[in-house]
Amino acid sequence: MVVKMNERLRNTIENLITLAIILVLIQTMAEDIFVLLGADWDIRMLFIYTGLAFDLLFTLEFLIRSWAALSQGGLGKYLWQENGWVDFVASVPILVFNSGPALLTHISGTVFIGSGSLIGLLKIVKAVRMARVLRILRLLKIVRRIRFADSKMVQRHTVRIITTAVATLIFSASISGAVFAFIDSLSTEEVWHHEQIAAVESLVEDASLVSTPDAAKRWGRSRPSVILLRSGDWTLYSKYHDEFLMAKFGPSDYSVLESDSYAIWFDSRPLSVAHSRLNLILFVSNLVVVLMLMITYSPHFAITVSDPVNVMLCGITQRSYNLEVRIPRQYAQDDIFRLAKAFNDTYLPLKERSDLDEQGGTLDISLDDINDLLES
C-alpha cells in the first residue's frame, strides 16, 4: 500500500512538473510577444512574478533531484545521462541572473546609471535569457511517454539526438550573439550607446541648446532616444505625458545619464524589443527542430533498428514466436537487415524443423548451425 501511494505521489508530481513545463514555455514566448507589442508595464510586470515563480519551482526540482541522485550515488548519471544539466541550465542561472534581479529592480524602483554599465548588463542578460529556450528540452520528458515503439532504445536515442541538436543551436546562437555584440560596432547596443554619449556631450559643449523651452523641445525631438531632460528640479523637456510614462515605462525600460547640470532619461525599450525578437526566433526554431525530429527520426529509428531487433529477440527467446523481420528494400544492405535476412532464411527454418520434433524439447541446433548462421 505504501509503495502504491509513493508511486501515485511520484506520478502526480511528474504530471505537475510536465504541466509547469508547458506553461513556462507559453509564458516565455508570451513575455517576448508583449514586449514586441509595447504592452503596458503593469502587464509585463506580471511576467516578472510568474517567471520568478517558475524559476524557483524548477530550481527546487533540480536541487531535489540532485540530492536524491547524490544519496543513491548516481549524481553523475543524473547530470549527464538523464539530462540533469538541462535542468540546471534552464533554472539556476536564469533565477540568479535574470528573474531574480528583474524582481529586485522592480521592487526597489532603481534604474541603470551609466550607459556603459547598462550595455554590459544587457549583453549578459541577453545571453542568459537565451537559456530560457532550453526549457523546451524539458519537454523531452513527455517524449519518453510517447511510444513510437515499445522500446526504450527508441526513446533514449530520440532524446539524445534532439537534445544534441537543440542545445547546439542554442549555444551556438548564444556564443555567436555574444561575440558579435562585442566586436560589431554597428550593433543596436552600440548605436544606442553612441546616441547617449552624443546627447550629453552636446549639452556640455553648448548649454544654449536648451536655454529656452522651445530650444529644449527642438533639442529633444532631434534625439529620438531621449524621453526626459531635467536640470535640478526643473523638467526642461518631456517626450511623453506623465500618464504615458507611468503606464508604459518600468525600471528596466529607461536609463539615466547625468552631467554637472543635467540629467537625461533615455528610452531603452528598443533594446528589449531587439532581444525579444531574437528570443522568439530562437524559440520557434527550436520548437520546429524538436517537432520535426519527433515526427521523422523516431519512427525511422523504430522501423530500421528497434523493430527488427525486437522481432529477432522475440523469435529467439519465445518458442511460439515465428514472425519474419520485414526488410525494406531501400535498407536491405544495412547491417541490421543483413542480420535479419540470416534470421529469416536460416534461423527460422531451423526453429520450425525443431518444432516438428515429437518430443517438443529444447531447440536442437548444433554449434555448427549457429556458426553457419553468423557467417551467412
In a domain, 346, yes or no: yes
Contact present, 236 and 210 (Cβ < 8 Å) = yes
Question: Confidence class of residue 129 from pLDDT cuts 50, 70 and 90?
Answer: low
Residue 112: which pLDDT band, with cuts at 50, 70 and 90? very low
Distance between CA atoms of 113 and 22, rounded to whole angstroms? 37
φ/ψ (deg, to 5) at 265:
-95, 135
- Average pLDDT (221-227) is 90
Q: Give the best-scoring range by mean pLDDT among 110-119, 153-162, 275-284, 353-362.
A: 275-284
Grid cell for residue 100: 531574480
pLDDT at site 188: 64
Other residues' Cβ atoms within 10 Å of the Cβ of residue 69? 17
Q: Quote the CA–CA distance of 353 and 10 in Å, as a whole number.
A: 50
Q: Residue 162's pLDDT is what?
A: 78
334, part of any domain:
yes
Of residues 321, 370, 307, the one with CA closest to residue 342: 370
285-316 residue pLDDT tens:
887 888 788 788 888 888 899 889 989 999 99
Mean pLDDT to the nearest integer, 96-123 = 60
Has residue 204 been placed in a domain? no
365 is a domain residue: yes
Determine the average pLDDT of the residues in 262-276: 86
pLDDT attached to residue 372 = 59
What average pLDDT does this structure show over 348-366? 65
Dist. CA 301–CA 298, nearest whole Å: 5
Mean of pLDDT values over 249-259: 83
Residue 170 lies in a domain: no
Angle between helices 41-71 and 2-36 (to 10 degrees): 150
- Joined together, the cell numbers standing for residue 75 give 549524481
Position 349 in a domain: yes
Residue 339 above 90 pLDDT?
yes
Print the domain residue range for 371: 318-375
More confident residue, 124 or 276: 276
Q: How far apart are CA 166 and CA 342, in angstroms?
A: 38
Task: Note whether residue 66 is domain-resident.
Answer: no
Task: Count how many domains the chain has.
Answer: 1
Q: Does 371 map to a domain?
A: yes
Task: Output b/e per residue, 155-191; b: 16+ Cβ within 10 A.
Answer: bebbbeebbebbbeebeebbeebeeebeeeeebbbee
Q: Would you say residue 334 has pLDDT above 50?
A: yes
Question: What is the b/e burial string over 282-315, where b = at least 16 CB atoms within 10 angstroms of the residue's CB?
Answer: bbeebbebbeebbeebbeebbbebbbbebbbeeb
DSSP H/E element including 238: strand 234-238
71-107 pLDDT tens trace: 998 888 888 877 788 788 888 888 887 788 777 766 7
